[in-house]
Structure 1
Amino acid sequence: MVVGAVDGTVDSDTVTETLQRASTVADRPYEALNEQYDGGSLREAHAEYFTQAPLDPEAFNEEQRVRLLGTAFADEALDLATFLSDREVAVDAIRVEAFGAPESEEFLVQFVPDDGEQAESTDSAEQWVAGTNASAETAAGGERESDSGEDTADAPSHESALAADDGADGGAGADDESESEAGSGAHDRDRTAEDGTGDEAGDEAVEAGSLELPVLLDAVAEGIQDRLVGTFDTDPEDLVSVERGNELLVRPDHPAYAGGVLRYRIQVGSDGTVEFGVNIYGGSEAEKEQMRAVVRENEAGIEEELEYEIADGYDGFAASRQFATLDQVAAAEIVDEFDRLVRFFHSRVMRA
């Protein structure tokens, strides 16, 4: 991660300079990073911090991310960051406010929502990060889908599309477009069209009375927000978003989720097919591996109890349900199934 911090407004020159710095470290092998690390063995320190087995040296520095910190952002800087993020170069803009006393080296940093307004309950200690210098650790704690560590609760949700996962098409789990059908019995509430699905029924499988997709997804989002209250210690409205018109995402901000690389997902097809899934996307390879390990450890339960299909490389899992009519009843059933998915996997993430 390369952090570009400005005491003032971040402009396009800042973005360019930070990208240049990122490019200089992009090809550095593990040996060079380990030599630069001032704390013994980088592999051992990394494994201890993330409580996992040491990674292979080749796993380090496989991809780079850029974080921009400043009290304001020029429009051209935001445009450039969005342009790069849409092309899978992770560039995030994070607005901060810092306060300190001239006679002291200590300071407080507050991460500010995108709308420029301070988050509610500003007296809450969880919204502040205390520090003694402008270190990269403080910056890393302020990601929209923040890195692991104690600072993760400090970053409020951002609606900006600057994060790499906002502009991406969904990672390995989504690209696989798994079409595993739900078994009867465990999913007896699913309402499959009697005259067939997929190629046989086509768009005609959805009968009259279906809701328009935006209306359906709004109803589903509202229901999911209600179910998520208290799950992630964050306002559910900040976690649930509708993407590309037919996809709903929940991005957990809990520290247990290794920097926010995991997303719960719903994708609705015009033929009444609804895919439910979990994707592991973005972040560092180490962060992704943390979530893959949870999938591996729970493979049997995911496939047998949840009846979802695990993607190659353990980059997620998914299952599809067919609805004859995408109406209010279907919306309620979609909420039920999504709630079942989150309850199943979230508890296992927390235990891991």
Structure 2
Amino acid sequence: MYIYITFVLYFSTVLLCSGQSPPQVEVSGNQLYCGEAPMPIVTDINISGGDNSLDYVYVQIVTGYSLGLDELLLTGTHPNISTSWSIETGLLTLIGPASSEDFENAIRDIRFQTSENNFTQDKFFSVNLGEANYLPATGHYYLYVQDVGITWHEALEAAEAQEFFGLQGYLATITTPEEVQITGEQALGTGWIGGSDQAVEGVWRWKSGPENGQIFWNGSVSGSAPDGMFAFWNTGEPNNLFEEHYAHITDPNIGILGSWNDLANTGSTDPESPYHPQGYIVEFGGMEGEPQINVSDSSVIIMPKTEITFNNVCDEGSVFINLTTNVDEVLWYDSVNSNE
């Protein structure tokens, strides 16, 4: 088994940019986890272009984040930069304004530490020049927009009106588990995504972005995703209760974290209801003819992963133990309390 940790770094001079030539970022770092002390998230970083001044850098663990166990912290002395850590999103914000060189030095001094013992994923870092979250697994950017009470159709239009360094925005299409984590588990809020079965009941299609028209689910609660497609419905969803035809990421207090439910176009009109819309998720990237931007880069810390399987023996017989690991040395003991 192999575990990968990804961290995302974000640089920002503005939230959403159009018509600008942004600075470029290059990150180095493909490291094995040490486990004995906090370790750097990059081995080197270079920021070029722009006007040599940045307001923010956003450093986020976007894949493999363990809430309450993983932490990023800034070490050393950086008089022009302060920090803010969000445990909910795994996001460390470096706050300027400061020069590109100041931010480079600060990023070299960021340390990752964890109290997690059983790793199942690696941790990834990425560098982004805007406030939208960058996900290395897809190469796309994601932005939660708070807009209490917005309808699905309004969110669809609002997302398409947004632009990020020349990339066209669209209501998010969630097609991978990694996107579930960044848009649901680690988002600042929950909201509308681009799925609907309004045209044909029970035939769920993406209605936005590069996947526009693509079927990702057939049926209701007992339905299924077509071969090769991905869906992440909450338990008991979609149920089409009260003519619900639009996909929404559920409130964190309801069911599976980051999962989806179907709602009517307005959602609940009761402001106190967990089904009252709080906003929407905008995705950038993957559209035909869009510019190539270099506003992000990523590094990885490879975590130690071990998987043990064995055959079952009812009476007498031999037990065969199979060990799969990415570490160099494994210690075996005769029993839990044994030193040998």
Q: TM-score, normalised by structure 1?
A: 0.24
**Higher relative strand content:** 2
Q: TM-score, normalised by structure 2?
A: 0.24
